[in-house]
Amino acid sequence: MPTPQILLATTLASFGWLIFTLVGGWLSDRIGRVKTFLIGYAIVFAWMIPMFALIDTKDIMLYGVALFVLTIGLGLSYGPMSAMYAEMFPANVRYSGISIGYAFGAILGGAFAATIAEYLLQTTGWTGSIGIYIMALCVISAVGVVRAKETKGRPLGVSSHH
């Protein structure tokens, strides 16, 4: 597919991510952080194989649809993130806790993702293998967020965490 079309479709899909991140934050204030994360992970999980099948058609419109639908799950799993992280740590270590946790997550979860995806594609010749990898990450993430427990409504003041 031509690069300008890919960039345009990706840019348009990024607006979906913006919208659904806002929806994710709003929803997490209504039903809780954990439930919102889990809904987002479930959408991403369910969308992986169909998404890569659409991308494999090499039709730019289907590529755009594939990315846009992905942003629904991404936004719902991204929107509650900041609030949940802030609510997980007492005020006196909040910035350090969030920074260290986010940095380790980015390194362990993100730094090798492209290399792993390329390895899977080269080894299997099937883009769906990348989808299965992401599905496994959704399961691991869901287990992690459930174990972290709900933080909605937790007071954020200095004296509220003991």
What are 123-134's pLDDT values in tens digits? 999 999 999 999
Task: Tell me what percent of the residues of the chain surpass a pLDDT of 70.
Answer: 98
121 or 108, which is more confident?
A: 121
Residue 49, SS3 per DSSP = helix
On whether residue 141 sits in a domain, the answer given is: yes
On whether residue 160 sits in a domain, the answer given is: no
On whether residue 159 sits in a domain, the answer given is: no
* CATH number of the domain enclosing 59: 1.20.1250.20
On whether residue 14 sits in a domain, the answer given is: yes
On whether residue 157 sits in a domain, the answer given is: no
- C-beta atoms surrounding 91 within 10 Å: 14
- What pLDDT was estimated at residue 40? 98
Q: How distant is the alpha carbon of residue 87 from its chain centre?
A: 19
d(Cα 113, Cα 21) in Å, to the nearest integer? 22
Query: What is the pTM (predicted TM-score) of this model?
Result: 0.92
- Single-letter amino acid code for the residue at 105: G
Q: How confident is the model at residue 23 (pLDDT cuts 50, 70, 90)?
A: very high
**Structural domain that includes position 85:** 3-151
Residues 87, 145 contacting (CB under 8 angstroms): no
Give, as one character, the DSSP assignment of residue 79: T
Number of domains present in the structure of the chain: 1
Which residue is listed with tokens 């079309």?
5
Query: Where are the extended beta strands (E) located within the chain?
Result: none
The closest of 86, 103, 84, 100 to 146, measured between CA atoms, is: 84
On whether residue 59 sits in a domain, the answer given is: yes
